């Protein structure tokens, strides 16, 4: 995941904490260290208050429980897309 993100400059990343190789938190920390402006939305089935807090402190723009928060994630992504479209047309 890190190699792909190094080459790409995505505006938004939908990041699962459970990756086949490595940790989603490692990816989150690496993205935050780059200060690229990439918005990271974390999704997981392993919801824990401390994990949520750490992810938000480490730069996640949102944290979502796959079991319950997908509608909220969808709405947040729609709002972000609208904001991006507004910025793109304003310039």
* Domain residue spans of the chain: 2-85
Nearest to 55, CA basis, from 15, 4, 21: 15
Superfamily for 2-85?
Response regulator (3.40.50.2300)
Surface-to-core class of residue 13, CB atoms within 10 Å of its CB (0-12 exposed, 13-18 middle, 19+ buried): buried
Q: What is the pLDDT of residue 43?
A: 92
- Tens digits of per-residue pLDDT, 11-57? 888 888 888 777 888 888 888 887 777 888 999 988 889 999 999 99
Task: Summarize the confidence of residues 67-76 as an average pLDDT.
Answer: 88
Q: What is the pLDDT of residue 88?
A: 41
């Amino acid at each position: 995941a890190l190699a792909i993100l190094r080459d790409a400059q995505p505006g938004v990343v939908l990041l699962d904490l459970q990756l086949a190789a490595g940790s989603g938190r490692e990816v989150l920390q690496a993205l935050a260290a780059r200060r690229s402006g990439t918005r990271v939305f974390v999704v997981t089935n392993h919801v824990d208050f401390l994990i949520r807090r750490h992810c938000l402190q480490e730069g996640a723009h949102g944290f979502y429980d796959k079991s319950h928060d997908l509608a909220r994630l969808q709405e947040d992504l729609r709002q972000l897309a609208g904001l991006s479209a507004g910025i793109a047309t304003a310039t």
